[in-house]
Structures are given as C-alpha cells and as structure tokens.
Amino acid sequence: MTEGITLTLRLAEACDADDLLAWRNDPVTRTNSRNTAEISRESHDAWLLRALADANRRIWIAERGVERLGTVSAVRNAGGPVELSITVAPAMRGRGVGAVMLHAALAETARIWPGDAITAMIRPSNGPSLRLFERCGFVATDRKDDLLIYRWRN
C-alpha cells in the first residue's frame, strides 16, 4: 500500500553521514549490496565527500517532516545508463515507502538527465527489491555476475 504516503526528496549533505552509514551497514542492506563488507566511518566519510562533489552522482534523502525515511542514489556512468540504488531505513521497511521514494527519484533522474537509460542491479534473492522495481516499471534485461540488471521502461 503506497496510498497516503507523502514524502520529499532533498539532496544529501555532509551532515547526513551518520544516517547514510547506518543504513549502509544495516545487515539486510549489506547482504543485498554488491560489496557486502562493513564500511568503516573513515572510508565512508571520504567516499561521501567525493560523492557529493561528483556531478554525475546524486544522493537524495527521503523525508516526511523531520522523519528520515531512507535514501536513493543515482550514478551516471560514462557512456552508459544511470544506475539507481535505494535503501529504506530499517524501521520503515515493509510499508510501501520504497515505491514512493523510487517514483520520486525516477522523476528527478529523468528531469536532470532526460533521455538517459535508467537501470538497477539487484540480487535475485532480494524479493522485496525485485518486486519494488517491477512495480515501478522496471524489467530484467540481463545478468552481470550474480546480479540481475533491471531497466526502466518509462
């Protein structure tokens, strides 16, 4: 059920480092990530500074009032598609928040980089993510290593 969920996406800032690291190191997020290792504070802070300065990357924080619901990021690969990645805050999962976040991020991505293909890389074992992306108009088009490549059919 996504009816009735209203949220806003804003660009992440350096002060979001604590939330982003906590969501990234959450065990379920790690299991479903390409790199399943726990990320240290030091390397995460350095990565975030680089990421925030990267013109080909956007990191958004989803909020409802003062409540932080999760994050979506978009990376525009050189000569390739824009790849989206999403993490709902652990306490907010299973309520349809992800679909609202993904719809908002798709609209923003299409506005910033019109015409670019939009993809996501998903583990076949990640049922909620497969379902989420399918519901938002993605279809599986390929496989790379142990990940499925999903592409948005807008």
Q: Single out the residue of 77, 68, 91, 79 nearest to residue 121, CA to CA.
A: 77
Residue nearest to ligand COA (CB): 127
CA 131 to centroid of chain Cα atoms = 15
Q: How far is the CB of 143 from ligand COA (least distance, A)?
A: 14
Q: Which residue from 61, 82, 106, 122 is in contact with ligand COA, where contact means CB under 6 A?
A: 122
Closer residue to ligand COA (CB): 33 or 114: 33
67-106 binders of ligand COA (CB under 6 A): 85-88, 93-98
Q: Single out the residue of 112, 20, 106 nearest to residue 57, CA to CA.
A: 112
d(CA 135, CA 33) in angstroms, rounded, equals 21
Strand partners, 74: 58, 84
Binding footprint of ligand COA on the chain (CB under 6 A): 28-29, 32, 85-88, 93-98, 120, 122, 126-129, 131-132, 135
